[in-house]
Amino acid sequence: CTACVALGIASSRAPWFALQVARIAAALAGRDAVMHEDAEFAARLVLAPRATQLPAPPEAEPPPEEPPPPDDPQDREDEQDELATPDAPLDEQVLAAAQAAIPAGLLARLKMEQRASGASRSLGRSGQARLAGRLGRPAGVRSGPVQRGARLNLIETLRAAAPWQPLRRREGHAGDAVAVRPEDFRVTRFKQKSRTTTIFVIDASGSAALHRLAEAKGAVELLLADCYVRRDQVAVLAFRGAGAELLLPPTRSLVRAKRSLAALPGGGGTPLAAGLDAAWTLAEGVARRGDTPLVVLLTDGRANIGRDGQPDRARAEQDALKAATRWRGSALAAVVVDTSARPEPRARTLAQRMDALYLPLPHARADMLNQAVQAVARGAAGR
């Protein structure tokens, strides 16, 4: 079926289904033979939804070198009979009907979404599964050109080309054992599993009272234990005084993480913007290494130290909101845990700016907090 080839339909079942639909349409209309309108109806119903590409525009034919000699009346009648045969124009009508049924820009938009979906990785149990070139476990095949670093799947390529051999032999490939075209190429995909790195960003300033800081440390220790079970990496970052400090770089050591929490002092100003900037830098570094970063920010949202390290509450809050806005629309997942005695509007606004999950610690039990963090981690692939 020429229309199937032009529309990028590799399955040999599609033309058979279209033929059956055309016959049914003719029978429902009370006709004994399939007409052009039946074929067009079948193309819109069967071929258009299966199309993966639009037909290439026809090439301009070069002008004839010399005018053809005049034909005699008998040759003209034979030519008119050939043009009246429905085969050639039927293919064009079927292709035009299928193409007209495809909304404008749909195929291009679907291809963009598929590329975006492939780029945003799917998360596994202890990390995200990401598609790689030739590393990891085989994860099916895809159709498309064989780019550098890809591996051609010969069996699937021959399997895709096999149904089209009778048609291709009639088109002039009779001498080939198997006529393979670029649209038959199948490339093996491979899946790698990467680790999840949970980055705890803790507000250790004076606005977080000592008993609230103790509750925040307790919540972090519960989450640390769960990360240890899932074999995730953890990092601890705290901000207080004039800036942020990385207390523990990414590690799987639960003992080191608990020790860094126990030695965390409280007091001083709240450089919230500096904490967000440091968390962003660390999360991007984790993502560049191929791991999945998940940021858990524990704060009451009240900032009073600006990015320049100077005390100015109004400017500090503006700097914090600007730093939070950078997270929106990124592939970095985050949870904002409100550590204030009562749910604080500033912390909720901060979470909204970051496009993060908001959890008030006074109403969040340890199991709820743990489940929420896991849910955000599982949904990181869709961001």
Q: How far is CA 293 from CA 96, 200, 249, 276, 343, in A?
A: 48, 11, 13, 14, 26
For the chain, residues with pLDDT lower than 70 are 1, 55-90, 99, 103-138, 149, 173-176, 191-194, 207-213, 215-217, 219, 362-383
Distance between CA atoms of residues 284 and 290, nearest Å:
10
Residue 181's pLDDT is 84
Q: How far is CA 213 from CA 7, 76, 271, 295, 316, in A?
A: 62, 96, 16, 18, 21
Q: How far is CA 65 from CA 59, 69, 79, 238, 381, in A?
A: 18, 12, 21, 81, 60
Residue where the block lists tokens 């032999």:
169
Residue range(s) in the chain whose domain bears CATH number 3.40.50.410? 196-382
What's the CATH number of domain 1-51+87-102, 3.10.450, 1.10.8, 3.30.420, 1.20.1070?
1.10.8
Residue 369's pLDDT is 66
Q: In terms of C-beta density within 10 A (0-12 exposed, 13-18 middle, 19 or more buried), how is residue 255 classed?
A: exposed
Q: In terms of C-beta density within 10 A (0-12 exposed, 13-18 middle, 19 or more buried), how is residue 142 classed?
A: middle
Q: What is the per-residue pLDDT across 14-59, written as a single tens digit (0 to 9) for each?
A: 888 888 888 888 888 888 888 888 888 888 888 888 887 776 655 5
What's the CATH number of domain 196-382, 3.40.50.410, 1.10.357.10, 3.90.15.10, 3.40.640.10?
3.40.50.410
What's the mean pLDDT when you consider all of the chain? 74
Residue range(s) in the chain whose domain bears CATH number 1.10.8? 1-51+87-102
Distance between CA atoms of residues 367 and 267, nearest Å:
29
- Name the token pair of 293: 């970063």
Residue 282's pLDDT is 92
User: Taking Cα atoms as reference points, which of 70, 67, 43 lies closest to residue 55?
Assistant: 43
